[in-house]
Structure 1
Amino acid sequence: MNDKLTNCGHQITIMEYAGFPFPTVALKVYTSDLTSLFLWTCPRCKGYTKGFEVIYRDHSTCGEGRHAGPTRIDKWKRMGITSNDAAPRAVLLRFLFLLCIGCKCLASEVEATQTATLAVDASPQLARKIPDTLFGIFFEEINHAGAGGIWAELVSNRGFEAGGLHTPSNIDPWSIIGDDSSVFVETDRTSCFSRNIVALRMEVLCDNCPTGGVGVYNPGFWGMNIEEGKVYNLVMFVKSPETTDLTVSLTSSNGLQNLASATVTVSGESNWIKVEQKLVAKGTNRTSRLQITTNKKGVVWFDQVSLMPEDTYKGHGFRTELISMILDLKPRFLRFPGGCFVEGGWLRNAFRWRESIGPWEERPGHFGDVWHYWTDDGLGYYEFLQLAEDLGTEPIWVFNNGVSHNDEVDTVAIAPFVKVCFDSIDVLDSIEFARGSANSTWGSVRAAMGHPEPFPVKYVAIGNEDCGKKFYRGNYLKFYNAIRQAYPDIQMISNCDGSSTPLDHPADLYDFHVYNDSKTLFNMKSTFDRTSRSGPKAFVSEYAVWRGDAGRGSLLASLAEAAFLTGLEKNSDIVSMASYAPLFVNDNDQTYWMQTLFRESSGAMFHPTTISSSYSGSLAASAITWQDSENSFLRVINFGSDAVTLTISTSGLQASINALGSTATVLTSADVMDENSFSNPTKVVPVKSDLSNAAEQMQVTLAPRSFSSFDLALAQSKLVAEM
């Protein structure tokens, strides 16, 4: 707290003054000093001040609706009050008068408690099983979700290919240690790898090099997170015409703190050699770098420089701490690798599965021109299949169907279009790679990579967001017919939305993508109520509040998304799968925590609910139980700005509700626009407490703008009808 008097000039709403929905203002009264009758604490800068300006909402507008926040000044009137007023007591009276006006508005807009009833019919006759696959995850290489994210590779541009094949090329983010008079670097086409031919040539020019040597360093993806005691495996390919000692180090971003170091000797010969070195960190630094230095004059070539922590999830290259967060969602499927990443802005930059398998050092990588960054494809088709297995999820392979954002292959040319890998034979090969025996052509490649047993691919998506493009339908049918003939059990997913209009082509499922503002998505909870119950099932493979009124990952966004998911549960007879997008951005925002409260839904029994209230337009709810569990879950979203006294009536349960063991978990915050961040990662998180009044008939209070999940312990395990 800043104890100095300030004149910050901040404009504070009377509602912010009153402490809702913003931080409380502490008033301090000093009766012994009437010249400074009171001080107050600014909730913006935390400084004590005498001078202030109060902004209050015009009393006549109180009935117009919910408080819109301090950014809407158009309907607010201002009255300045400062400590320079002639009569300090009058100042206080004016302030109290304003506060009364504000509190009157507050009572009508915020403190007013709504009432509602929620009826849950858990009778076996109306129970319906939710598909085992309802909630899963969608992974796309976007926001560095893979390169620099879940994939544990710490070196960015490890193969020096990101600058393109025309050499010399840009080597970002690599940089030199030394100056132009002591070291010179450039790329050339001398690599020993046929599919990624660019290498880095480093020439040391100094006869008496500075202490510590000269060389190159790589900061990784905005700094390498090096942790004390952990082991890091360095692999690089090197050649030098003369015997040279290289020092490989993990240091702080400025090179001054040495976290780990080792010396490797490169024998003087013309052939490339593979160097492997373990580095044990003796300190922790979140913005570290890898550096390679020498004191000897001469030339050294480098290629495919990799640094990975030794501890990855099941030894398969994925970051353990991120995988653990995914596992907490209990996903039932993994859709990969895109998204627009699959299409590419142009076909030349689309994801090609063949280029992403085999030894990592031989993969050429490619430029993801939709999301504008290079990926070395260390996280490739094989790794995605392995990830699905490690997570215990169904893999959903999304492949390019000859269509990108800006160009596409004519259907008449799709079959023989082999060289750029967009023909049906190519897709059949990709399925054989996953499902074929270890003796098959492509199954043997998988087996050589370490997985002799097949991966159980049961779903494929023919393209991504390509419906309506000139050649999509024709290309789709080519792929569909080829796959159906070779693998009749595989479920195929069309890009065309069949929720309101029947598809004009065969499909087992259809994609449904929605990105919208919070209010629209909240109201879309009933989208599938009117959808035909016959025909292909819906796969809501991408959904999010992404625009308009909810910022980036705010509480408001998560509430709308939660309401939307209750609608998917309700309509899970025709909605088979759903996944949020994008899975990874930066921090654990409220949408992540919201999804953890739906993690028990897949495979559960759904029970119909009815909300009765004049306020029902701001409420959403769902109820589930399990046949083999001892719990029932009720989820209720209060999207409105009023608190709600909710009376819950549950009938038809095959067991009574026990207060002992029942809990309530609430996701809310003082400001609906609150977001988590690296500086405050737990600003908005679910809070769990005992539900001491849990019963078939009970009353709870829903906080404004909140998501409440009631975990009701049942007296016995038999809950619903036999399935």
Structure 2
Amino acid sequence: MEVLCEHCPPGGVGISNPGFWGMNIEQGKSYNLALYLRSLEHLNLTASLTCSNGSQIVASASIQHIGLSNWTKIELQLLAQGTCRSSRLELTTLNRGIIWLDQVSLMPSDTHKGHGFRKELISMLLDLRPRFLRFPGGCFVEGELLRNAFRWKETIGPWEQRPGHFGDVWHYWTDDGLGYYEFLQLAEDLGATPIWVVNIGISHHDKVNITDIAPLVEDILDSLEFAKGSAESKWGSVRSSMGHPEPFLVKYVALGNEDCVFNFYREHYLKFHTAIREAYPDIQMISNCDGSRVQLDHPADLYDFHIYENISGVFLNKTKFDNVPRTGPKVFVSEYAAVEEKPGDGGNGSLVASLAEAAFLTGIEKNSDIVQMASYAPLFVNDNDHTWMPDAIVFNSWQQYGTPSYWMQTFFRESSGALIHPITINSSYSQQLAASAITWQDSKISFLRVKIVNFGPVAVNLTISVSGLEASVNSARSVVTVLTSSNPFDGNSFSQPKKVAPVMSELPNAAEEMQALLAPYSLTSFDLALEV
């Protein structure tokens, strides 16, 4: 930054950065500023947080040094004296001269476990009780070109030493401050199993020749040593130096993402599979090839299945796994969502889209002997950049809300480890219904949960009849939860974050046999409390 004025205007001159679409600065909260500076002259710099329209200075601090001839890291804390939802960072001076700046970072002091994530966003994740975290993504792993693929070694170590890269699939530059280590740490913070998706020398438009694949195989083995190795190992010691001497519990590695479309995928896959199996026999490996239709011609512990279809297509896939082979690898549904076929059909985060997904999940639940894991995708989207729609959680610099698909998933958060029960629907409306039943337990009592999706425009009366219970139903502790709205295409927004959200009420008529009314376009969960 070269300052040319001899007599600079009051307030000084300088540069500013609004972050991504403006930063949320809140009164009473502190923000950590870190930057590298170099200047041959006396340095008198002011760091300020101001409203983007210049109407208010909400925080300010002075940086004064004499003769910083070498690059010097400066760290200070800014305490906000006011609130502005769209702020920018300003670095200004009244002095003529040249100031060199690099690697400027501003982060809130108060983040989830001090690991950089917004508490309110992590809280929404925790409310889903995730059992695994798949990272660093799908297409983000591959890149349109290999030169823009995710390279884990360039995403570890001090943030300011990470070169960053251009995510050419989603069209943005990332500084990789959220890198391999941070993903592993996030999984641990969530109490979730990490699923590490690796690039096996394939992008959307180019590949590594199989004769040159050995260094990339070794690179992935290094990544596993970083995660799982002892603190004395070469790469485990790097992890330890970053503050995590204990190994991360990595159990799954996905070899590529949606790469089975290439006829050379299997040749690449086998190189990585063989090396990982020899070095880490406990790792379960996930193939990109769909084994639900044709038996895989290569070894795998799981195969990956993705479904992005319109709402009717997703609903009809509720029976997708009823007749797939029960031998061989298990199924990992790592990406599912109802997407819009044309504007307004409900794929953009609507009630009816979430109901189609709920029906699909009841089928997964009933086939959990073969389907081991399932995850909605994508998880987050910034409201200023809807490159992909729909998404589960929408946020901006200071707000967030869950789409109906987010709330739908809360109906399934007790399903992991639950006992599945057979369920039969006898109704003239059975074609528009989907259902599943589980027994789950909280800290004090067990529940029989019957979930029913009504995917049609008319209300449906049903008799729910339960047989074979070894406990009686306690109506006083039983509840019913419903996800519905007056319009099937209703969604949520910042102004109405819970327009479509679950509503729980008491269930005084709970019994082994009871009458139930399913609202049009609804997901209903009957939780019958069981007492021995």
Task: Indicate yes or no: 2:406 matched with 1:613.
Answer: no
Match of 1:611, SS state, is coil
Aligned counterpart, 2:398: none
Match of 1:651, SS state, is coil
CA contact 1:398–1:460 (8 Å) conserved in 2: yes
CA contact 1:248–1:291 (8 Å) conserved in 2: yes
User: How far 1:434 sits from its partner (Å)?
Assistant: 0.3
After superposition, where does 1:438-587 map in structure 2 within 5 Å? 438-548=231-341, 549-585=345-381, 586=394, 587=401
User: How far 1:609 sits from its partner (Å)?
Assistant: 0.4
After superposition, where does 1:103-502 map in structure 2 within 5 Å? 202-415=1-214, 418=215, 423-502=216-295
C-alpha distance in 1 between matches for 2:85 and 2:468: 55
Superposed CA offset, 1:414-444 (max 9, x none): 11xx3xxxx2111100000000000000000
CA contact 1:605–1:627 (8 Å) conserved in 2: no
Matched letter for residue 691 of structure 1:
L
Matched letter for residue 518 of structure 1:
I
Aligned counterpart, 2:410: 596
User: How far 1:249 sits from its partner (Å)?
Assistant: 0.9
Aligned counterpart, 1:61: none
C-alpha distance in 1 between matches for 2:7 and 2:462: 79
Match of 2:226, SS state, is helix
Aligned counterpart, 2:465: 649
Superposed CA offset, 1:383-407 (max 9, x none): 0011111111111000000000000
C-alpha distance in 2 between matches for 1:270 and 1:595: 56
Match of 1:612, SS state, is coil
Based on CA coordinates, which of the two structures has the bigger radius of gyration?
1
After superposition, where does 1:63-74 map in structure 2 within 5 Å? none
User: How far 1:486 sits from its partner (Å)?
Assistant: 0.6
After superposition, where does 1:691-702 map in structure 2 within 5 Å? 691-702=507-518
User: How far 1:547 sits from its partner (Å)?
Assistant: 2.3
Match of 2:259, SS state, is coil
User: How far 1:679 sits from its partner (Å)?
Assistant: 2.4
Superposed CA offset, 1:73-106 (max 9, x none): xxxxxxxxxxxxxxxxxxxxxxxxxxxxxxxxxx
C-alpha distance in 2 between matches for 1:461 and 1:564: 23
CA RMSD of aligned residues (A): 1.0
CA contact 1:408–1:471 (8 Å) conserved in 2: no
Q: TM-score, normalised by structure 2?
A: 0.94
Aligned counterpart, 2:499: 683
C-alpha distance in 2 between matches for 1:285 and 1:672: 36
Between 576-585 and 258-267, report the one with greater CA deviation: 258-267
CA contact 1:493–1:511 (8 Å) conserved in 2: yes
User: How far 1:286 sits from its partner (Å)?
Assistant: 1.2
C-alpha distance in 1 between matches for 2:517 and 2:51: 51
Matched letter for residue 276 of structure 1:
E
Equivalent residue in structure 1 for 2:436, among 604, 609, 622: 622
C-alpha distance in 1 between matches for 2:82 and 2:217: 52
User: How far 1:274 sits from its partner (Å)?
Assistant: 0.9
CA 1:307–1:431: 2 relative to 1, 3 Å: same
C-alpha distance in 1 between matches for 2:494 and 2:4: 43
C-alpha distance in 1 between matches for 2:451 and 2:99: 62
After superposition, where does 1:10-159 map in structure 2 within 5 Å? none
- Could you list the runs of 5+ residues in structure 2 that have no partner in the other structure? 382-393, 395-400
C-alpha distance in 1 between matches for 2:68 and 2:140: 41
C-alpha distance in 2 between matches for 1:265 and 1:654: 75
Superposed CA offset, 1:686-718 (max 9, x none): 1111111111111121110011111221113xx
Matched letter for residue 314 of structure 1:
K
Q: RCO higher in 1 or 2 (8 Å CA, sep ≥ 6)?
A: 1
C-alpha distance in 1 between matches for 2:91 and 2:68: 19
Equivalent residue in structure 2 for 1:671, among 487, 492, 513: 487
Identity level (%): 68
Matched letter for residue 489 of structure 2:
M
C-alpha distance in 2 between matches for 1:713 and 1:388: 32
C-alpha distance in 2 between matches for 1:618 and 1:402: 44
CA contact 2:311–2:347 (8 Å) conserved in 1: no
- In the alignment of these two chains, the number of paired residues is 509
- Could you list the runs of 5+ residues in structure 1 that have no partner in the other structure? 1-201, 717-723
Matched letter for residue 383 of structure 1:
E
Between 258-267 and 390-399, report the one with greater CA deviation: 258-267
Match of 2:481, SS state, is strand
User: How far 1:627 sits from its partner (Å)?
Assistant: 6.2
Aligned counterpart, 2:389: none
User: How far 1:243 sits from its partner (Å)?
Assistant: 1.1
Match of 1:652, SS state, is coil
